[in-house]
Amino acid sequence: MSDNPKWLNNAVFYEIYPQSFMDTDCDGVGNINGITEKLDYIKDLGCNAIWLNPCFESPFGDAGYDVSDYCRVAARYGTNDDLINLFNEAHRRDMHVILDLVPGHTSWEHPWFKESMKAERNQFTDRYVWTDSIWEEPTGYGSLRGISDRDGSCAVNFFTHQPALNYGFYKPTRPWQQSVDSQGAIATREAMKDVMKFWLSRGCDGFRVDMAGSLVKNDEDSKGTITLWQNMTDFVRKEFPEAVLVSEWGEPDKSLQGGFHMDFLLHFGPSHYNDLFRCENPYFDGKGTAADFVEKYIDSYEKSERKGLICIPTGNHDMDRLARHIHGDNKKLAFAFLLTMPGAPYIYYGDEIGMNYVEGLTSVEGGYGRTGSRSPMQWDNSINAGFSAAPSEKLYIPIDPSEDRPTVQSQLNDKNSLRSEVKKLISIRQAHKALQSKGEIEFITKGEEGKPLSYIRKTEGEQILISVNPTDKPCEFKIDSRVKEVIYSLGDGAVIKEGSIVIRECSAVFAIL
Ligand code: GLC
């Protein structure tokens, strides 16, 4: 895809898990109107875009990533009109909302799948990946078998109840494997375009695309999946040029070729994201190393033509809360890094106040170990932390029971709070083009163990040095350019010398060069 829609260049996203953000109808589950009510809170933080996790009809075996009707808001969240109202209210505030598109699979309760299970041929027979005998497994990742009269096994994508939609096989090797240009595969692709069109024409500003790299099967180098996305993103670019598509793919060289505007850095695979935030000794907790992350980041950056369109999230609904591993003011250092990197930053709801991972919960809606990161937003000290007026046993997930749990209310007017620091960091990002999505990046120090992580962000006419030192030792490093002005400092900051900088322990500094 050629140029980005302009709004993406300075977008700072806030990810909302709708179940857990704000409940205004007192059923213990968050809803769309609750999000609309809190738009001013999000805007005040400085975020100007929202990624909303799936909010469509679903049996909720995977928290809504098992869709049973792509074009209808789940009753527990409200109505389509409520969602359209959210789009309008967001636009009124100069904000944008992207939805979560799950194109790879549906719920086994989707009407398409119910038709597809039938022995008689019909319009949906080829909508999913089926073998032609129940004794043959489709893709090696698991299947649904013996569930209807249809003699075949259906491939699944994630959980067993999520049958895989058919976008074809890049290299079919068995008679039942359809090619990428078979009628069945093309019909699936067109049906997914209809879904996109449905929401984009009602005011939605784009999509975060779930498991975007997994659609075409037997596609080792992703060539088939890239071509498929080129077709879909072309359609979006032509009909909705201001719409944004961000992929959950984790390989920007591939996803950007497919036409996505940006790609997520994933917490699995080769990214080394976890080295920074989520491992035994995470770099931002002051102990580990960021060097492997930096190597891999540079590699992806170069491969995607230095476009820098890699989104690094603070966390998300699939991984541990940031605060589970990064302690005290080191969280501020983590944000100083996250909010000065290229691409669009994504703040997972509640991370801005340092919400904790809630330990020991029983799985809710297919969350398993992820459930502890999906607990209700902590607004204040009133009943259910201000999330819902329902009896607490009816809450979707229990509130963090810790007595010292952070709340928005306690942090809002405290200038030393994490939330205040996040707000300040976003406003600095918004004041300097070099710090935004498209500014280039060049690493100066790579955050080896005991060392700071330092880089220069650049656009025409502006160069900003960022140095973040989460370790307990000061460190001196060389710089070629002269420091003109320090625009941000955290902890004891830095000592600027001629040709070098000493960054103090547990400190960060941003300086115009
Ligand atoms: C993505 C989602 C995750 C979901 C899975 C299957 O990784 O982020 O929550 O369970 O896809 O759709």
Q: How far is the CA of 65 from the centre of ligand 1 (A)?
A: 6
Give the pairing of strands 440-446 and 346-348. unpaired
Contact 315, 346 (CB under 8 A): no
Cβ-in-10-Å burial (0-12, 13-18, 19+) of 41 comes to: middle
Residues 132-138: contacts with CB under 8 Å, at least 24 apart: 132/175, 132/176, 136/174, 136/176, 138/164
What is the rounded distance in angstroms from the CA atom of residue 136 to the CA atom of residue 485? 67
Measured in whole angstroms, how far is the alpha carbon of residue 248 from the centre of its chain?
7
Name every protein residue with a CB atom under 6 angstroms from any ligand 1 atom: 62, 65, 102, 158, 210-211, 248, 317-318
What is the rounded distance in angstroms from the CA atom of residue 320 to the CA atom of residue 285? 15
Q: Return the residue matching tokens 């009124």.
A: 92
Nearest to 12 by CA among 324, 312, 426: 426
Give domain 105-164's CATH architecture: Alpha-Beta Complex (3.90)
Question: What are the residue ranges spanned by the domains of the chain?
Answer: 6-103+186-429, 105-164, 440-512
Q: How far is the CA of 35 from the centre of ligand 1 (A)?
A: 22
Q: How far is the CA of 210 from the centre of ligand 1 (A)?
A: 6
SS3 for 460?
coil
* Confidence (pLDDT) at 307: 85
What is the rounded distance in angstroms from the CA atom of residue 118 to the CA atom of residue 112? 10
Q: How far is the CA of 58 from the centre of ligand 1 (A)?
A: 14
pLDDT < 50 positions in the chain: 1-2
Closest ligand 1 atom to Cα of 66: 12
Q: Under CATH, domain 440-512 is a member of which superfamily?
A: Golgi alpha-mannosidase II (2.60.40.1180)
Closest ligand 1 atom to Cα of 318: 9
What is the rounded distance in angstroms from the CA atom of residue 399 to the CA atom of residue 380? 12
Give the pLDDT confidence of 54-69 residue by residue, as tens digits: 999 999 999 999 999 9
Domains 105-164 and 440-512 share a fold: no
Stated length of the chain: 513
Give the pairing of strands 262-264 and 244-247. parallel
What is the rounded distance in angstroms from the CA atom of residue 324 to the CA atom of residue 345? 20
Q: How far is the CA of 142 from the centre of ligand 1 (A)?
A: 16
Give the pLDDT confidence of 334-348 residue by residue, as tens digits: 999 999 999 999 999
Residue of 62, 67, 265 to mutate, ligand 1, most atoms within 8 A of C-beta = 62
* Confidence (pLDDT) at 1: 43
Q: Return the CATH fold of 6-103+186-429.
A: TIM Barrel (3.20.20)
Alpha carbons within 13 A on the beta-carbon side of 267: 16
